[in-house]
Amino acid sequence: MKYEDLKIRQSWTLEQKIDHTVGTIEAFLAKTDGKGYISFSGGKDSTVLLDIARKFVRQGFPAVFCNTGNEFPEIVQFVRTFDDVSIIKPKMRIPDVLEKYGFPIINKEQSQYIREYKHALSEKNKDKRLNGKINKNGRVIGKISDKWKFLLNAPFEVSEQCCNKLKKEPFGMFEKETGLLPIIGTMVDESLVRFQKWLKQGCNSFDSKRIASYPLSIWKEADIWTYIRKFNIKYSPIYDKGCNRTGCMFCGFGCHLEKGMFNRFDMLNHIHPKAYQLFMNYTNSGITYREALEYTGIILPDSKNRQQTIFNYGDLY
Ligand code: SF4
């Protein structure tokens, strides 16, 4: 696929995008003997995807929701209003995952590199993470960014394993038991990694390690809201509380990018203060999540060094 292809498709009308999504799902089912399921997070994107699959492809299209224990209560309650949604759970509890593997801070790649460096068994592997390697385009890849090297000496672990334990493993087990394959409501616009993946594989992936369909790849956030309003479909009430991020409540991935703003932890503390306090006191190596986030430079709602915010909670409504 090419960048120009994406731009053309992103400029299509909503009807063209719906047709494209239906066609993508049908092409995926045709190649997998009809073995698809909607990976349903309860967020607005997968809500739209599930609606399209059940309205235009097949009634009662199977859907799966993974209750990591880290979901907004509004999301869990919303998911329960749907028929035919299987609810799966991770084997490990969140505090045990954090204690054993480390906190999900910065982003998946960097936290993985830091974990791999700290636990490397050879100098060669340490060097690989410290200095990276040169790819075929002459670029250095796989390296711990200079900005995050101070975390190599942190008195706690950071890790990407949280996602593996709380999400990947339960979905993997479900797929193994049922033979079903995931249809996922992510959009290319959300991240550079998703854009690069789309350039390689398009909206359906049959060649990579994980066979999966991404039929909303070319959609934009505005399309999602247009679809919700046009078809008057239900969506989680969490959005009407001012929350536009519905993933795991306490995830620290990407939170450093929200500096100086009303960030996800402000929002969590505002909407669910008890959950906020609970998560902040989870530990790794005797260090709380609160301390680890502050060590990383994140200003929390109850941080001592927090300046008086000019944000008015009333602005949310
Ligand atoms: S999104 Fe964040 S908090 Fe949720 S499972 Fe993945 S790493 Fe953990």
Which pTM was predicted? 0.90
What is the DSSP annotation of 50-93?
HHHIIIII-TT--EEEE--S-S-HHHHHHHTTSSSEEEE--SS-
Among 45, 32, 41, which Cα is nearest to 218's? 45
The per-residue pLDDT of the chain, averaged, comes to: 93
d(CA 9, CA 55): 22
Query: Is residue 316's pLDDT more than 50?
Result: no
Report residue 313's pLDDT band, with 50, 70 and 90 as the boundaries: very low
Q: Given pLDDT bands bounded at 50, 70 and 90, which one contains residue 219?
A: very high
The pLDDT confidence band at residue 291, using thresholds 50, 70 and 90, is: very high
Q: What is the pLDDT of residues 170-218, one digit of tens each?
A: 999 999 999 999 999 999 999 888 999 999 999 999 976 789 999 999 9
Burial class (CB in 10 A: 0-12, 13-18, 19+), 250: buried
254 Cα to the center of ligand 1, angstroms = 11
- Among 68, 186, 279, residue to substitute to test ligand 1 (most atoms within 8 Å of Cβ): 68
Q: Mean pLDDT over residues 285-297, rounded? A: 96
Give me the residue spans of the domains in the chain.
3-94+161-241, 105-158, 249-300
More confident residue, 316 or 109: 109
**Residue 253, ligand 1, Cβ within 6 A:** yes
Percent of the chain with pLDDT over 90: 85
Q: Indicate if ligand 1 lies below 6 Å from the C-beta of 111.
A: no
Give mean pLDDT, residues 107-117. Answer: 95
How far is the centre of ligand 1, averaged over its atoms, from the C-alpha of 13 (Å)?
34
pLDDT digits 0-9 by tens, 116-174: 999 999 999 999 999 999 988 888 999 999 999 999 999 999 999 999 999 999 999 99
Q: Ligand 1 centroid to 160 CA: how many Å?
A: 8
92 in contact with ligand 1, CB cutoff 6 A:
no
CA distance 237 to 230: 18
The residue-averaged pLDDT of 257-268 equals 83
b or e along 27-56 (b: 16 or more beta carbons within 10 Å of the residue's beta carbon)? Answer: bbbeebeeebbbbbbbbbbbbbbbbbbbee
Looking at residue 307, what is its pLDDT?
A: 60
Q: 306 CA to middle of ligand 1, Å?
A: 26
C-alpha of residue 15 to centroid of ligand 1, in Å: 34
State whether CATH 3.40.50.620 applies to domain 3-94+161-241. Answer: yes
CB of 61 within 6 A of ligand 1: the answer is no
